Amino acid sequence: MCRLVAITSNEYLSPMEGVLSLETMHEGHDGSGMGLILKNLGGEFSELKNYPILSGICSNEGLRVLDQFMWDAGFHIKYEWRPVLKPVSSIKKRAHYFAKVYEYPEDFIDKSLTEKEDLLLRTRLALRAIGENNQSIIVFSFYPDVIAIKEVGDPLQLSEFFGLTDSRLKSKIIFAQGRQNTNYDINLYACHPFFIQGFGSMTNGENTAFGPIKEYLTSRGVTGYVGYDSDSEVFTHILHFAVRQLGYPLQYYKDIITPLKASEMERRLDSGVLALLKASLRPLCIDGPNMVIGFTPDGTCFMAHDSKKLRPGIVGGTKGRIAFVSEECGLDSVVPDRDHSLDIFPMKYDMVIVSPGAEEVRVWNQLYGWTTTIN
Protein backbone atom coordinates (compact mmCIF):
# COMPACT_ATOMS: atom_id res chain seq x y z
CA MET A 1 0.00 0.00 0.00
CA CYS A 2 1.24 3.47 -0.78
CA ARG A 3 2.01 5.99 1.93
CA LEU A 4 1.00 9.49 1.08
CA VAL A 5 1.52 12.93 2.47
CA ALA A 6 0.40 16.27 1.18
CA ILE A 7 1.09 19.55 2.90
CA THR A 8 -0.52 22.86 2.05
CA SER A 9 0.76 25.94 3.75
CA ASN A 10 0.84 29.72 3.68
CA GLU A 11 4.62 29.69 3.78
CA TYR A 12 7.25 28.05 1.63
CA LEU A 13 8.32 24.64 2.90
CA SER A 14 11.16 22.32 2.10
CA PRO A 15 10.11 19.12 0.37
CA MET A 16 11.97 17.36 3.15
CA GLU A 17 8.94 17.95 5.35
CA GLY A 18 7.04 15.59 3.10
CA VAL A 19 9.89 13.11 2.86
CA LEU A 20 10.37 12.97 6.62
CA SER A 21 6.68 12.46 7.10
CA LEU A 22 6.85 9.54 4.68
CA GLU A 23 9.74 8.21 6.71
CA THR A 24 7.61 8.06 9.86
CA MET A 25 5.22 5.84 7.93
CA HIS A 26 8.05 3.68 6.64
CA GLU A 27 6.60 0.46 7.99
CA GLY A 28 3.72 0.84 5.60
CA HIS A 29 5.62 1.22 2.36
CA ASP A 30 8.38 -0.77 0.78
CA GLY A 31 10.69 2.11 -0.05
CA SER A 32 10.50 1.24 -3.69
CA GLY A 33 10.17 4.74 -5.01
CA MET A 34 9.09 8.30 -4.49
CA GLY A 35 7.01 10.81 -6.35
CA LEU A 36 7.05 14.49 -5.44
CA ILE A 37 5.01 17.33 -6.81
CA LEU A 38 5.75 20.81 -5.60
CA LYS A 39 3.29 23.57 -6.36
CA ASN A 40 3.29 27.31 -5.61
CA LEU A 41 7.05 27.43 -5.73
CA GLY A 42 9.34 29.69 -3.76
CA GLY A 43 12.97 30.64 -4.08
CA GLU A 44 14.12 31.53 -7.56
CA PHE A 45 10.88 30.12 -8.99
CA SER A 46 8.78 32.72 -7.16
CA GLU A 47 9.79 35.21 -9.83
CA LEU A 48 8.79 32.86 -12.64
CA LYS A 49 5.23 32.01 -11.73
CA ASN A 50 3.76 32.63 -15.15
CA TYR A 51 6.27 30.57 -17.07
CA PRO A 52 5.77 26.86 -17.71
CA ILE A 53 8.17 24.43 -16.06
CA LEU A 54 9.05 21.16 -17.72
CA SER A 55 9.96 18.47 -15.18
CA GLY A 56 11.57 15.25 -16.21
CA ILE A 57 14.51 12.97 -16.74
CA CYS A 58 16.61 12.50 -19.86
CA SER A 59 19.47 10.47 -21.21
CA ASN A 60 22.29 12.39 -22.91
CA GLU A 61 20.79 11.75 -26.30
CA GLY A 62 17.31 12.42 -24.96
CA LEU A 63 18.36 15.81 -23.67
CA ARG A 64 19.73 16.79 -27.05
CA VAL A 65 16.49 15.72 -28.74
CA LEU A 66 14.39 17.47 -26.12
CA ASP A 67 16.24 20.75 -26.38
CA GLN A 68 16.01 20.68 -30.15
CA PHE A 69 12.32 19.83 -30.02
CA MET A 70 11.54 22.63 -27.60
CA TRP A 71 13.55 25.10 -29.66
CA ASP A 72 11.73 24.09 -32.79
CA ALA A 73 8.42 24.41 -30.98
CA GLY A 74 9.26 27.99 -30.08
CA PHE A 75 9.87 27.44 -26.36
CA HIS A 76 12.94 29.37 -25.32
CA ILE A 77 14.56 28.47 -22.07
CA LYS A 78 14.45 31.06 -19.35
CA TYR A 79 15.79 29.24 -16.33
CA GLU A 80 16.81 25.71 -15.40
CA TRP A 81 16.95 24.00 -12.05
CA ARG A 82 18.95 20.84 -11.64
CA PRO A 83 19.30 18.94 -8.41
CA VAL A 84 22.81 18.74 -6.99
CA LEU A 85 23.09 14.97 -7.10
CA LYS A 86 24.94 13.11 -4.39
CA PRO A 87 25.95 9.52 -5.05
CA VAL A 88 23.91 7.06 -3.04
CA SER A 89 24.84 3.42 -3.59
CA SER A 90 21.31 2.08 -3.74
CA ILE A 91 20.08 4.68 -6.26
CA LYS A 92 20.75 4.05 -9.91
CA LYS A 93 21.60 7.44 -11.35
CA ARG A 94 20.18 8.59 -14.65
CA ALA A 95 21.90 11.18 -16.81
CA HIS A 96 19.81 14.34 -16.38
CA TYR A 97 17.17 15.39 -13.89
CA PHE A 98 15.77 18.83 -14.58
CA ALA A 99 13.08 21.44 -14.20
CA LYS A 100 13.33 23.77 -17.16
CA VAL A 101 11.46 27.05 -17.21
CA TYR A 102 10.47 28.25 -20.67
CA GLU A 103 9.02 31.30 -22.24
CA TYR A 104 5.91 30.67 -24.26
CA PRO A 105 6.31 30.66 -28.03
CA GLU A 106 5.75 34.15 -29.36
CA ASP A 107 2.42 33.45 -30.95
CA PHE A 108 1.09 32.06 -27.65
CA ILE A 109 2.12 34.86 -25.34
CA ASP A 110 -1.20 36.66 -25.69
CA LYS A 111 -3.35 33.57 -25.91
CA SER A 112 -5.80 32.59 -23.18
CA LEU A 113 -4.73 30.35 -20.32
CA THR A 114 -6.85 27.52 -21.75
CA GLU A 115 -5.06 27.70 -25.05
CA LYS A 116 -1.70 27.84 -23.31
CA GLU A 117 -2.63 24.84 -21.16
CA ASP A 118 -3.57 22.87 -24.25
CA LEU A 119 -0.27 23.75 -25.89
CA LEU A 120 1.70 22.68 -22.82
CA LEU A 121 -0.17 19.39 -22.64
CA ARG A 122 0.34 18.64 -26.32
CA THR A 123 4.01 19.43 -25.99
CA ARG A 124 4.47 17.19 -22.95
CA LEU A 125 2.67 14.32 -24.69
CA ALA A 126 4.81 14.74 -27.80
CA LEU A 127 7.98 14.59 -25.72
CA ARG A 128 6.66 11.55 -23.89
CA ALA A 129 5.92 9.83 -27.18
CA ILE A 130 9.42 10.57 -28.51
CA GLY A 131 11.18 9.10 -25.51
CA GLU A 132 8.84 6.45 -24.24
CA ASN A 133 10.23 3.41 -26.02
CA ASN A 134 13.84 3.77 -24.92
CA GLN A 135 13.14 5.90 -21.83
CA SER A 136 15.45 8.58 -23.25
CA ILE A 137 12.92 11.27 -22.31
CA ILE A 138 10.59 11.00 -19.32
CA VAL A 139 8.46 14.07 -18.64
CA PHE A 140 6.12 14.35 -15.68
CA SER A 141 4.65 17.81 -15.92
CA PHE A 142 4.78 20.94 -18.01
CA TYR A 143 2.91 23.70 -16.30
CA PRO A 144 3.58 26.98 -14.55
CA ASP A 145 4.58 26.89 -10.91
CA VAL A 146 4.71 23.08 -10.67
CA ILE A 147 7.70 20.75 -10.39
CA ALA A 148 7.53 16.96 -10.36
CA ILE A 149 10.37 14.68 -9.24
CA LYS A 150 10.14 10.89 -9.40
CA GLU A 151 12.63 8.09 -9.06
CA VAL A 152 12.98 4.51 -7.96
CA GLY A 153 14.38 3.96 -4.48
CA ASP A 154 13.85 4.65 -0.82
CA PRO A 155 12.38 8.16 -0.27
CA LEU A 156 14.91 9.19 2.35
CA GLN A 157 17.83 8.01 0.27
CA LEU A 158 16.31 9.66 -2.79
CA SER A 159 16.09 12.97 -0.96
CA GLU A 160 19.79 12.65 -0.17
CA PHE A 161 20.47 11.68 -3.78
CA PHE A 162 18.62 14.73 -5.07
CA GLY A 163 20.23 16.93 -2.45
CA LEU A 164 16.84 18.04 -1.19
CA THR A 165 18.21 18.36 2.33
CA ASP A 166 20.33 21.35 1.31
CA SER A 167 18.27 22.60 -1.59
CA ARG A 168 16.73 26.03 -1.79
CA LEU A 169 13.79 24.43 -3.53
CA LYS A 170 10.68 25.29 -1.58
CA SER A 171 6.95 25.36 -2.17
CA LYS A 172 3.68 26.02 -0.42
CA ILE A 173 2.14 22.75 -1.56
CA ILE A 174 4.00 19.44 -1.34
CA PHE A 175 2.61 16.14 -2.55
CA ALA A 176 4.77 13.12 -1.74
CA GLN A 177 4.18 9.46 -2.26
CA GLY A 178 6.46 6.75 -0.98
CA ARG A 179 6.24 3.78 -3.23
CA GLN A 180 6.62 2.77 -6.80
CA ASN A 181 3.60 1.14 -8.29
CA THR A 182 4.81 -2.31 -7.40
CA ASN A 183 1.62 -3.96 -8.59
CA TYR A 184 3.00 -3.64 -12.10
CA ASP A 185 6.34 -3.27 -13.82
CA ILE A 186 8.54 -0.55 -12.40
CA ASN A 187 7.80 2.43 -14.59
CA LEU A 188 8.16 6.02 -13.56
CA TYR A 189 5.01 6.93 -15.46
CA ALA A 190 3.16 4.67 -13.01
CA CYS A 191 4.41 6.67 -10.01
CA HIS A 192 2.03 8.99 -8.17
CA PRO A 193 1.28 11.85 -7.92
CA PHE A 194 -0.16 12.24 -11.41
CA PHE A 195 -0.59 15.60 -13.04
CA ILE A 196 -2.56 17.14 -15.87
CA GLN A 197 -3.14 20.83 -16.61
CA GLY A 198 -2.91 22.08 -13.05
CA PHE A 199 -4.69 19.14 -11.47
CA GLY A 200 -2.85 16.50 -9.52
CA SER A 201 -3.66 13.57 -7.31
CA MET A 202 -2.24 10.52 -5.62
CA THR A 203 -4.12 7.52 -4.36
CA ASN A 204 -4.00 4.70 -1.92
CA GLY A 205 -5.24 1.27 -2.91
CA GLU A 206 -6.04 -0.61 -6.06
CA ASN A 207 -8.91 0.58 -8.18
CA THR A 208 -11.14 -2.36 -9.06
CA ALA A 209 -13.23 -0.34 -11.50
CA PHE A 210 -10.13 0.71 -13.44
CA GLY A 211 -11.04 -1.01 -16.72
CA PRO A 212 -14.39 0.66 -17.47
CA ILE A 213 -13.19 4.03 -16.09
CA LYS A 214 -10.13 3.98 -18.32
CA GLU A 215 -12.28 3.01 -21.28
CA TYR A 216 -14.66 5.88 -20.56
CA LEU A 217 -11.93 8.47 -20.10
CA THR A 218 -9.97 7.47 -23.17
CA SER A 219 -13.13 7.72 -25.25
CA ARG A 220 -13.89 11.32 -24.12
CA GLY A 221 -11.79 12.76 -26.91
CA VAL A 222 -9.80 14.78 -24.36
CA THR A 223 -6.13 15.14 -25.13
CA GLY A 224 -4.05 13.86 -22.27
CA TYR A 225 -6.25 10.99 -21.14
CA VAL A 226 -3.52 8.53 -21.98
CA GLY A 227 -0.97 6.51 -20.11
CA TYR A 228 -2.70 4.61 -17.35
CA ASP A 229 0.41 2.72 -16.41
CA SER A 230 -1.17 2.85 -12.98
CA ASP A 231 -4.83 2.29 -12.18
CA SER A 232 -4.63 5.37 -9.97
CA GLU A 233 -4.01 7.78 -12.83
CA VAL A 234 -7.73 7.75 -13.62
CA PHE A 235 -8.45 9.63 -10.37
CA THR A 236 -6.46 12.61 -11.64
CA HIS A 237 -8.22 12.52 -14.96
CA ILE A 238 -11.69 12.19 -13.39
CA LEU A 239 -10.82 15.30 -11.37
CA HIS A 240 -9.69 17.11 -14.51
CA PHE A 241 -12.77 15.97 -16.43
CA ALA A 242 -15.22 17.00 -13.71
CA VAL A 243 -13.74 20.36 -12.79
CA ARG A 244 -12.00 21.60 -15.93
CA GLN A 245 -13.88 19.95 -18.76
CA LEU A 246 -17.36 19.97 -17.26
CA GLY A 247 -16.86 23.00 -15.04
CA TYR A 248 -18.41 21.44 -11.93
CA PRO A 249 -17.61 22.77 -8.45
CA LEU A 250 -14.96 20.62 -6.77
CA GLN A 251 -17.27 18.93 -4.25
CA TYR A 252 -19.13 17.19 -7.11
CA TYR A 253 -16.00 15.12 -7.66
CA LYS A 254 -17.14 13.16 -4.62
CA ASP A 255 -20.66 12.81 -6.01
CA ILE A 256 -19.21 11.47 -9.25
CA ILE A 257 -16.84 8.87 -7.82
CA THR A 258 -19.17 7.78 -5.03
CA PRO A 259 -22.74 8.64 -6.05
CA LEU A 260 -25.43 8.50 -3.41
CA LYS A 261 -28.24 5.97 -3.42
CA ALA A 262 -31.58 7.28 -4.65
CA SER A 263 -32.99 7.27 -1.10
CA GLU A 264 -29.99 9.30 0.12
CA MET A 265 -30.21 11.84 -2.69
CA GLU A 266 -33.64 12.90 -1.56
CA ARG A 267 -32.07 14.77 1.36
CA ARG A 268 -30.15 17.04 -1.00
CA LEU A 269 -31.59 20.19 -2.53
CA ASP A 270 -29.76 19.35 -5.74
CA SER A 271 -31.13 15.80 -5.86
CA GLY A 272 -32.34 16.28 -9.45
CA VAL A 273 -28.83 17.10 -10.58
CA LEU A 274 -27.36 14.21 -8.62
CA ALA A 275 -29.65 11.71 -10.31
CA LEU A 276 -28.61 13.03 -13.71
CA LEU A 277 -24.92 12.93 -12.83
CA LYS A 278 -25.19 9.44 -11.42
CA ALA A 279 -26.66 8.07 -14.63
CA SER A 280 -24.62 10.18 -17.01
CA LEU A 281 -21.27 9.55 -15.33
CA ARG A 282 -22.01 6.00 -14.25
CA PRO A 283 -18.74 4.62 -15.65
CA LEU A 284 -16.73 6.94 -13.38
CA CYS A 285 -18.14 5.44 -10.19
CA ILE A 286 -15.31 3.87 -8.20
CA ASP A 287 -15.49 0.78 -6.05
CA GLY A 288 -12.41 1.26 -3.94
CA PRO A 289 -10.46 0.54 -1.92
CA ASN A 290 -9.16 4.05 -2.47
CA MET A 291 -8.22 7.24 -0.71
CA VAL A 292 -7.49 10.16 -3.02
CA ILE A 293 -5.54 13.30 -2.18
CA GLY A 294 -5.57 15.94 -4.87
CA PHE A 295 -5.15 19.57 -5.78
CA THR A 296 -6.64 21.94 -8.32
CA PRO A 297 -4.93 24.73 -10.27
CA ASP A 298 -5.81 27.40 -7.69
CA GLY A 299 -4.07 25.46 -4.91
CA THR A 300 -7.15 23.99 -3.26
CA CYS A 301 -6.34 20.57 -1.81
CA PHE A 302 -8.70 17.76 -0.86
CA MET A 303 -9.04 14.22 0.42
CA ALA A 304 -11.84 11.80 -0.49
CA HIS A 305 -12.49 8.09 -0.15
CA ASP A 306 -14.47 5.40 -1.86
CA SER A 307 -17.78 4.63 -0.21
CA LYS A 308 -17.02 1.23 1.21
CA LYS A 309 -13.54 -0.08 1.69
CA LEU A 310 -12.01 3.14 2.95
CA ARG A 311 -8.23 3.13 2.82
CA PRO A 312 -6.84 5.14 5.74
CA GLY A 313 -6.55 8.88 5.55
CA ILE A 314 -6.40 11.77 8.01
CA VAL A 315 -6.36 15.54 7.67
CA GLY A 316 -5.16 17.86 10.38
CA GLY A 317 -3.04 20.85 11.26
CA THR A 318 -3.35 24.46 12.10
CA LYS A 319 -4.54 27.43 10.13
CA GLY A 320 -1.89 28.09 7.54
CA ARG A 321 -0.42 24.57 7.68
CA ILE A 322 -2.58 21.57 6.96
CA ALA A 323 -1.45 18.06 6.08
CA PHE A 324 -3.23 15.17 4.39
CA VAL A 325 -1.64 11.85 5.23
CA SER A 326 -2.34 8.19 5.03
CA GLU A 327 -1.36 7.54 8.66
CA GLU A 328 -1.60 9.63 11.79
CA CYS A 329 2.09 9.30 12.61
CA GLY A 330 2.80 11.10 9.35
CA LEU A 331 0.61 13.96 10.49
CA ASP A 332 2.41 14.12 13.84
CA SER A 333 5.63 14.55 11.91
CA VAL A 334 4.34 17.47 9.84
CA VAL A 335 2.24 19.32 12.42
CA PRO A 336 3.07 18.00 15.88
CA ASP A 337 1.66 20.98 17.78
CA ARG A 338 -1.87 20.96 16.46
CA ASP A 339 -5.23 20.58 18.13
CA HIS A 340 -5.80 16.84 17.77
CA SER A 341 -9.50 17.27 18.36
CA LEU A 342 -9.70 18.99 14.99
CA ASP A 343 -8.16 16.03 13.15
CA ILE A 344 -10.50 14.73 10.49
CA PHE A 345 -10.82 11.09 9.55
CA PRO A 346 -13.04 11.43 6.48
CA MET A 347 -15.60 8.67 6.08
CA LYS A 348 -17.66 7.39 3.19
CA TYR A 349 -19.67 10.56 2.55
CA ASP A 350 -16.90 13.06 3.31
CA MET A 351 -14.58 15.14 1.23
CA VAL A 352 -12.17 17.42 3.09
CA ILE A 353 -11.40 20.57 1.12
CA VAL A 354 -8.69 22.99 2.20
CA SER A 355 -8.51 26.42 0.62
CA PRO A 356 -5.29 27.77 -0.89
CA GLY A 357 -2.79 28.75 1.76
CA ALA A 358 -4.54 26.43 4.25
CA GLU A 359 -6.71 29.29 5.34
CA GLU A 360 -9.84 27.25 5.77
CA VAL A 361 -10.65 23.56 6.29
CA ARG A 362 -14.11 22.47 5.30
CA VAL A 363 -15.70 19.06 5.20
CA TRP A 364 -18.19 18.42 2.47
CA ASN A 365 -20.58 15.68 3.54
CA GLN A 366 -22.70 14.36 0.74
CA LEU A 367 -25.69 14.03 3.04
CA TYR A 368 -25.37 16.98 5.38
CA GLY A 369 -23.40 19.58 3.44
CA TRP A 370 -20.56 21.78 4.65
CA THR A 371 -18.86 21.92 8.04
CA THR A 372 -15.98 24.30 8.64
CA THR A 373 -13.42 23.06 11.14
CA ILE A 374 -10.59 25.57 10.77
CA ASN A 375 -10.77 29.11 9.44
Given the rule CB under 8 A, which residues bind other proteins?
Answer: 183, 205-206, 208-212, 215-216, 219-221, 246-249, 252, 258-259, 261-262, 269-270, 272-273, 276-277, 279-283, 285-289, 307-309
Vertex 158: Cα angle to 157 and 162 (nearest 5): 120
| Minimum separation from the CB atom of position 114 to other proteins (A) | 16
Q: Residue 115, CB half-sphere, CA atoms under 13 Å: how many? A: 8
HSE (side-chain half, CA atoms, 13 Å) at 207: 28
Q: How far is the CB of 313 from other proteins (least distance, A)?
A: 16
Round to whole Å and give the CA distance between 350 and 289: 15
CA dihedral 156, 160, 166, 168 (to 10 degrees): -80
Nearer to other proteins, 52 or 346 (CB): 346
Q: How far apart are CA 333 and CA 228, in angstroms?
A: 32
Query: DSSP labels for 245-269?
Result: IS---TTHHHHHHSPPPHHHHTTST
Q: Where are the alpha helices (DSSP H) in the chain?
A: 16-24, 60-72, 113-131, 155-161, 210-218, 233-239, 252-257, 262-265, 271-280, 328-334
CA separation for the pair 374, 372 (Å, rounded): 6
Closest CB 246 distance from other proteins, rounded Å: 5
Report the residue number, 39 or 362, with the smaller CB distance to other proteins: 362
Closest CB to other proteins among 200 and 289?
289
Could you say which DSSP state residue 220 is in? T
- How many other β-carbons are positioned within 10 Å of the β-carbon of residue 95? 12
CA gap 317, 331 in Å, rounded: 8
For other proteins, which is the closer residue by CB, 69 or 248?
248
Rounded-to-integer distance, Cα 283 and Cα 115, Å: 28
Q: Least distance from C-beta 296 to other proteins, angstroms?
A: 14
Q: Which amino acid is at 181?
A: N
Whole-number minimum distance, CB 322 to other proteins, in Å? Answer: 21
Distance CA 66, CA 129 (A): 11
For other proteins, give the closer residue by CB, 68 or 280: 280
Of 26 and 309, CB closest to other proteins: 309
Minimum CB–partner distance for residue 215 and other proteins (Å): 5
Residue 243: CB minimum distance to other proteins, A: 11
N-term to C-term CA, the chain: 32
Task: Quote the least distance from Cβ 8 to other proteins, whole Å.
Answer: 20
Nearest to 135 by CA among 71, 185, 200: 185
Q: Which is nearer to other proteins, 13 or 209 (CB)?
A: 209
Q: Which is nearer to other proteins, 262 or 347 (CB)?
A: 262
- Closest CB to other proteins among 148 and 239? 239
Nearer CB in complex with other proteins: 76/267: 267
Residues 316 and 336 sit within 8 Å (Cβ to Cβ): no
Q: Least distance from C-beta 164 to other proteins, angstroms? A: 30
Q: Give the Cα separation of 176 and 70 in Å (integer).
A: 28
